[in-house]
Amino acid sequence: MGSFFKMLFASCLGVILGIVLLTLIGASIVGAIASASEKPQKIGANSVLRLTLDQVVPEHTNNVDIQPFNLEQTEVYGLTDLVSAIERAKDDDHIKGILLETDMAMVSGFATTRVLREALLDFKKSGKFIFSHGKFYFPGNYYLASTADQIFINPLGISEIRGFSIQIPFYKNLIDRLGVKMQIYYAGKFKGATEPYRLERLSPENRYQYKEFLNDIYDIFLADVAASRKMKTEELRRVIDGYLADSPERAVETGLMDKVLYRDEVTDELRKKLGLKETESVSLVSINDFISSNPEDKDYKVKDKIAIVYAEGTILDGKGSNGSIGDSKYVKTLEKIAKDDKIKAVVLRVNSPGGSALASENILHAMNKIKAERKPIVVSMGDYAASGGYFIACQADSIFAEPNTITGSIGVFRMIPSLERTLTDKAGVRFDSVKTGPFAAGLNLYFDQDPQEAAKMQAGTEEMYEVFLGHVAKGRKMKRDSVHAIAQGRVWSGRDALRIGLVDRLGGLEEALQAAAKLAKVKSYRTAEYPTVPNPLQQLMEELMGAGSPETRMVKTLKRDFPELAPAVEEWMALKRSHGVQARLAVEVRLK
């Protein structure tokens, strides 16, 4: 009887706690909805727009996975919306300047950062000022900060402006110790995605190509910063390569920064710039408040539309999730666009290091259905349009890239681990089989592939490479051998890609839209963005309803608590979810 009452009490307590938890969550959601429905803040005179950029900037607003059960998640504005907001701030009489406070700027890749930088430089053409203040300066946020009239650093701040590098982990020794045999097949001598699993260090080919494109992008960085800081490029290179600006004081002495100031002293500088009295406060406006108070004005009376399709993240088989390119979701979206008579052209904004070759093929096929409807397609490349990212772009009517876009990587690979030795030597488990034919067992983790099976796998990989070459040759109007000469998995900067014929012009999304309108022969149009991305509140509701896999939730938790580990885990998860031949870039390069 005593245990009965204990169980009854425990059950009742569980129900009560569950009700309390649901009540709290419900109240938080209601509060979030009420907060979202509040009237936008009115922007007063002599205001300063405050840009923090404290997380990765996606291409498409909210195209990121929110943190689990984060009830305070706000809109995560994409690159297009941020640039548009800066353009509106330029013409807003209430906004007198911009304060950049990007201590831990995780802006993303080189091209994204440069697009934001160009928007800031354009803002200054109005005669308005930009100030920057930070506790920490790395190449990424310094690249943005260099647009400022004055760059301030905290007296105990950290200046980590010392050039660019790539670090690649190699797992071969670990895999060998575990007894795992990685059966690897690839096409393209520069295809480095498999090297961490078969070599102990970079091959000469990959060391060469990474050095080439990294130096190219570094040259662009130096030229841009030198122009803004009114320094000679070689002097700037000397300072950065020698790590001479390694403290706040030396950063000022070398000309990389202007003053060493505390945050309250920056406010005093803003008062002086705005002509305010010492007793008057400075009105700082967040980007969220500014956008909600100054929404983009669209003329919905215009019937003709140009679709902007954002393809960002890893290309995956299936639906995918926010921040990835699932072929089933994108094929449906593209088929819908093909049938929409109001859509006259498409701009495919690609920011992807690639992924599944099969998924890339399906997306390219859907793109060609749009072309069959006589709707021109223009590609605009972001940070990456490499491997599978270039695969889906290569047959567009015109291709635009940023000078520091990372593209190319035209090559494919397969990796199949075998645990036969691991299971036998480490766990004492041995598998045996009976087969009706030499290939009947198919792909599995329990047996090493024999020479016949390995030959089949290599032949299939090379056939996929030939398909890739054929698509590029058709799209770029080149001969197969000419494509092969610049392919082989090699990575190119956007500037080099223009020189070798992989892209048509250097430019951003706006230039691509203008080209699409010209090809479609439309003078007046409005844009429509695809795919539809749920806002943070909708994503939270999906999370509460149990949407998403346990693996996805694990990565979200890692991003929150261990952001340094998350990229490696995400890469492993992407490989685990992928099937068949892969067309993906080996490294991810960020301005940090």
63 neighbors 323 (Cβ within 8 angstroms): yes
* In contact, 141 and 103? CB cutoff 8 Å: yes
Question: Which pLDDT value is given to residue 191?
Answer: 83
Q: Is residue 479 part of a domain?
A: yes
| Assigned domain for 403 exists | yes
Asked if residue 179 belongs to a domain, the reply is no
Looking at the fold, whether 280 and 313 belong to one and the same domain comes out as no
The answer to whether the CB of 349 falls within 8 A of the CB of 310 is: yes
Q: Coil, strand, or helix at residue 582? A: strand
Distance CA 57, CA 117 (A): 13
- Alpha carbon separation from 398 to 241, 481, 498 (Å, rounded): 38, 22, 12
Amino acid letter, residue 303: K
For residue 135, give both structure tokens: 């506790």
Query: 103 with 130, same domain?
Result: yes
Q: Which domain holds residue 407?
A: 305-584
d(CA 373, CA 519): 14
- Whether 6 is covered by a domain: the verdict is no
Residue 578, domain CATH: 3.90.226.10
- Of the residues 47, 387, 409, 418, only one is catalytic, namely 387
The tally of CA atoms less than 13 A away on the side-chain side of residue 86 is 26
**Are 350 and 473 in a shared domain?**
yes
Residue 566: is it exposed, middle or buried by C-beta count within 10 angstroms (0-12/13-18/19+)? middle
Q: Are residues 497 and 363 in the same domain?
A: yes
Per-position DSSP letters for 419-451, written without gaps between them: -HHIIIIII--------SSTTTT-S-SSSPPPH
* Residue 559 among the catalytic residues: no
| Amino acid at site 222 | L
191 classed as catalytic = yes
Residues 289 and 367 in one domain: no
Compute φ and ψ for 469, nearest 5 degrees: -60, -40
End position of a domain, from candidates 252, 271, 293: 293
pTM of the model: 0.86
> Are residues 311 and 248 both part of a single domain?
no
Q: Is residue 440, in this structure, part of any structural domain at all?
A: yes
55 and 75 in a common domain: yes
Nearest to 43 by CA among 77, 91, 101, 102: 91
Phi then psi for residue 94, to 5 deg, are -75, -25
Catalytic residue among 47, 132, 159, 191: 191
Q: In which residue ranges of the chain is pLDDT below 50?
A: 4-5, 8, 17, 20-22, 24-25, 27-37
What are the structure tokens assigned to 439, written together?
Answer: 């290939």
**Distant-in-sequence, close-in-space partners of 150: CB < 8 Å, separation ≥ 6:** 131, 132, 258, 259, 269
Judge whether 149 lies within some domain. yes
262 lies in the same domain as 360 = no
Q: Would you state the pLDDT for residue 426?
A: 85
